[in-house]
Amino acid sequence: MIFTSLLLLLATSAHGQTLYDAAHNITAITGTWSSGSQNVITGAGFATPSQEAFTYPKTTGMSYSFTADGYYEIARYRMTSNGTVPTCITGVMNWSHGTYVLASNGSIVMTPFGDGYQQIQDPCAAISNFIENYNYTELYVLWNIYQDPVKGYTLQLYQFDGTPLPPQYLVSTSPNMLPTQALRNVSTTTTTTTTVQNAVVVNANAGERRWEAASLTGLLTVISGFGLVSLLL
Ligand SMILES: *[C@@H]1O[C@H](CO)[C@@H](O)[C@H](O)[C@H]1NC(C)=O
Ligand SMILES: *[C@@H]1O[C@H](CO)[C@@H](O)[C@H](O)[C@H]1NC(C)=O
Ligand SMILES: *[C@@H]1O[C@H](CO)[C@@H](O)[C@H](O)[C@H]1NC(C)=O
Ligand SMILES: *[C@@H]1O[C@H](CO)[C@@H](O)[C@H](O)[C@H]1NC(C)=O
Ligand SMILES: *[C@@H]1O[C@H](CO)[C@@H](O)[C@H](O)[C@H]1NC(C)=O
Ligand SMILES: *[C@@H]1O[C@H](CO)[C@@H](O)[C@H](O)[C@H]1NC(C)=O
């Protein structure tokens, strides 16, 4: 399915100017999208910016929301295990929002408001749990929306280096988002809080995590500058 979509994508982006037609995206990008078993959803159920806090979802995953007037929000919950010390599993929650642009070359550029933050839990590190500001402009070089026979409308985003993100399924056509403005004042110095609580990492759903790790890395390479795409299958 993804393969077919990529071929369609190739056809539509071959002339430099991306056409946002049904072959590229069979529905609009506006709304809320979520990967895997859809436990990670943008909005008030994930981040509480005024308290720099998170509500931990049942499983790892990611969620992106887009409004019709140019705002986005991202919620991500990720885990990585340490190759040399397999019991050291690092958990990262991160949240950001801001404005996005659908560029004519088919990319999406997401510029944050500056109030994003992330929490990193690493049971084996000297500081096992800390929260810091997160403010990076994100570039997605390609995207498309296709119909998955089981999951329905599916958003595929490709990161700056061409690596595909896990497919995200449409949760709702009206975006579930926090207010589209800066929601906390950020000082230039990073706020760091330290605790010793690692329960969230320990209780993680291993199946979901493993699925995320099995990414489709290598499926697609973008030769930058030409907008050319080569399939490595
Ligand atoms: C493709 O996405 C764009 C941006 O969301 C939207 O304007 C357009 O209507 C979509 N195309 C289709 C066929 O839904
Ligand atoms: C794995 O854990 C060891 C011991 O805590 C640490 O020195 C190393 O940096 C970790 N590696 C990664 C990739 O996190
Ligand atoms: C925040 O999430 C994104 C996506 O998973 C990731 O690229 C970024 O590295 C995360 N931050 C950290 C410190 O891992
Ligand atoms: C597409 O355009 C955007 C915005 O102008 C730019 O940031 C990005 O680098 C371009 N993408 C590629 C693959 O050249
Ligand atoms: C966040 O990043 C944006 C885009 O690079 C920048 O304009 C803004 O000043 C940054 N905000 C903070 C608080 O660092
Ligand atoms: C940021 O600080 C100013 C001045 O203290 C205050 O008026 C404003 O409400 C604050 N904004 C947020 C989002 O907390």
Query: Which has the higher per-residue pLDDT, 116 or 208?
Result: 116
Residue 39 lies in a domain: yes
- Quote the DSSP letter at residue 87: T
Strand partners, 74: 64, 96
State the Cα–Cα distance between residues 163 and 198, nearest whole angstrom.
30
Q: Which residues contact 45 (CB under 8 A, 6 or more apart)?
A: 55
pLDDT score, position 10: 54
The answer to whether 94 touches 118, Cβ cutoff 8 Å, is yes
Residue 69 lies in a domain: yes
- Show the domain range for 19: 2-215
Nearest CA to ligand 1 atom 10: 28
Q: Is 121 in the pocket of ligand 4 (CB under 6 A)?
A: no
Residue 223 lies in a domain: no
Whole-number Å distance, alpha carbon 140 to ligand 4 midpoint, is 9
State the Cα–Cα distance between residues 18 and 108, nearest whole angstrom.
12
Residue with tokens 């000297």: 126
Residue 227 lies in a domain: no
- Which range has the top average pLDDT, 2-6, 31-35, 192-196, 204-208? 31-35
Give the tokens for residue 13: 């982006």
Q: Is 137 in the pocket of ligand 5 (CB under 6 A)?
A: yes
Q: Ligand 3, closest atom to CA 132?
A: 13
pLDDT score, position 19: 86
pLDDT score, position 225: 27
Instruction: State the maximum Cα–Cα separation within the chain, in Å, rounded to a whole number.
Output: 54
Ligand nearest to the CA of 179: 6
pLDDT > 90: what percent of the chain?
Answer: 66
Whole-number Å distance, alpha carbon 26 to ligand 1 midpoint, is 7
State the Cα–Cα distance between residues 121 and 212, nearest whole angstrom.
18
Give the tokens for residue 109: 């550029």
State the Cα–Cα distance between residues 51 and 177, nearest whole angstrom.
17
Nearest CA to ligand 6 atom 3: 185
The answer to whether 138 touches 126, Cβ cutoff 8 Å, is no
Q: What is the pLDDT of residues 133-153, one digit of tens each?
A: 999 999 999 999 999 999 999
Q: Ligand 4, closest atom to CA 105?
A: 1
State the Cα–Cα distance between residues 55 and 46, nearest whole angstrom.
5
Residue 229 lies in a domain: no
Please give the tally of structural domains in the chain.
1
Which of 58-67, 108-117, 204-213 bottoms out in mean pLDDT, i.e. has the lowest? 204-213
Residue 224 lies in a domain: no
Q: Ligand 6, closest atom to CA 50?
A: 14
Q: Ligand 3, closest atom to CA 92?
A: 14
pLDDT over 50 (residue 165): yes
Residue 157 lies in a domain: yes
Count of alpha carbons within 13 Å of 231, Cβ hemisphere only?
11
Residue 222 lies in a domain: no
